[in-house]
């Protein structure tokens, strides 16, 4: 399984809307493991899991990036070191 943290920048005042929108997503090829509103340069961080990198990418572009209020995403793939 592949996991990725998706760092989300939202429109001003839309962090809660984005957070709830991402939580409500029904994705065919990936699962939303967790969604948290955070402080700092990003407003929301979501953890996604899928069995394939392409499926994970589609979940981000066709799912998360389509949520109202999402302005930009940065994806960080989880790696297993050692």
Percent of the chain at pLDDT above 90?
96
pTM value surpassing 0.85: yes
Q: How big is the chain, counted in residues?
A: 82
Whether the predicted pLDDT of 82 surpasses 90:
no
Q: Which CATH entry fits the domain spanning 2-77: 3.50.50.60, 3.40.50.2000, 3.30.70.920, 3.30.1370.100?
A: 3.30.70.920
Q: What is the pLDDT of residue 67?
A: 98
| pLDDT, the chain, mean | 96
Strands ordered across the beta sheet of 70-77:
31-37, 44-50, 2-10, 70-77
Task: Give the SS3 label for residue 66.
Answer: helix
Task: Encode pLDDT of 15-52 as tens digits.
Answer: 999 999 999 999 999 999 999 999 999 999 999 999 99
Give the CA-trace dihedral at 50, 80, 71, 59, to 10 degrees.
Answer: -10
Whether the predicted pLDDT of 65 surpasses 90:
yes
């Amino acid at each position: 399984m592949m996991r990725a943290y998706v760092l989300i920048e939202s429109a001003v005042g839309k962090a809660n809307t984005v957070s709830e929108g991402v939580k409500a997503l029904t994705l065919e090829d990936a699962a939303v493991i967790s969604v948290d509103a955070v402080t700092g340069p990003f407003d929301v961080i979501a953890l996604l899991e899928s069995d394939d990198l392409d499926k994970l990418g589609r979940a981000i572009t066709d799912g998360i990036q389509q949520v109202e209020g999402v302005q930009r995403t940065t994806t960080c793939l989880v790696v297993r070191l050692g």
